[in-house]
Structure 1
Amino acid sequence: MKYLVMVQGTQADYEAMSGKPSANSPAAWSEKDLQAMFAFMGALNDDLAESGEMVDGQGLTEPAQTRLVGVDEGGRPVVTDGPYGETKELLAGYWVLDCESLDRVTEIAKRINECPQPEGAPTYPVVIRPIQDGAGGEC
């Protein structure tokens, strides 16, 4: 079965990773912290590719580069650039994994939570969503 595994973050987290801490993300990341995170994620991705479970995985750019497209009450398009004050966390990265069971993908999510980060950096849960197999529910 395929699963979407998601990690979250905020604009403040991305700024902290650029060395600019704030009240919402008080730990500034050093070059050493970033290298440790990238090494961890690289090893994880290599292991998932080697096991045949990796379908895709990507980190996403900061929320400030996001665009929201909606509609107003009259049904006209409304385009808003990010980040959004009303949104706390946004998708920071994801994996599409093909795993034999929910237990297996949960093991992988637990490993993702072990990613190194500086002390005081906020932590977020890893979200697992099964991907519908295409039998109904398609747009």
Structure 2
Amino acid sequence: MKYLVIVQGSQADYEAMAGNATDSSPAWSKPDLTAMFAHMNAINEELTAKGEMLDAQGLAAPSTTRFVTVDGDGRPVVTDGPYAETKEVVAGYWLLDCASLERVTEIAAQVARCPQPAGAPEYAVVIRPVDATGPTQD
């Protein structure tokens, strides 16, 4: 079964990872970043070796976000970030093909053990099954 494993963050976290402390997160040092990337790369290598990895990506900072809606006439309305009202956003994801929910839960626990500086906020790792049934037609 396919699962989306999601890691969360905030604009403040991206700023902290760039070396700028915020009210909610201490500045990350180069060794902090090296440890985090080594941890994530090890997970990626394991998932690839086991044939479970379909895709994985880290996402750019929320400040680069663009929202697109349509007005009453169907014309696009574009709003660029950052968005002060947005607290947590998707920071990255893995699209995995795993034998069971238990296996993907093990992977999510591995992700949650990612090293980070003391005082950095902790976020739950989110698991979402991919709906393989698609829309139904009558």
Provide the rounded CA distance (Å) in 1 between the counterparts of 2:40 and 2:27.
19
Q: CA deviation at 1:83?
A: 1.7
The 1:73–1:86 alpha-carbon spacing in structure 2 relative to 1, beyond 3 Å, is farther
Provide the rounded CA distance (Å) in 1 between the counterparts of 2:22 and 2:12.
7
State the number of aligned residues.
137
Range with bigger deviation, 83-92 or 128-137: 128-137
The 1:11–1:2 alpha-carbon spacing in structure 2 relative to 1, beyond 3 Å, is same
Provide the rounded CA distance (Å) in 2 between the counterparts of 1:65 and 1:71.
20
Match of 2:54 in 1: 55
Structure 1: tracts of 5 or more residues without a match? none
Range with bigger deviation, 1-10 or 77-86: 77-86
Range with bigger deviation, 98-107 or 62-71: 62-71
Q: Which residue identity lines up with residue 16 of structure 2 in the other structure? A: A
Structure 2: tracts of 5 or more residues without a match? none
After TM superposition, the score normalised by the length of structure 1 is 0.92
Provide the rounded CA distance (Å) in 2 between the counterparts of 1:52 and 1:130.
18
The 1:137–1:117 alpha-carbon spacing in structure 2 relative to 1, beyond 3 Å, is farther
Provide the rounded CA distance (Å) in 2 between the counterparts of 1:91 and 1:137.
28
Provide the rounded CA distance (Å) in 2 between the counterparts of 1:77 and 1:67.
12
- 2:37 is the counterpart of 1:38: yes
Q: Percent identity?
A: 62
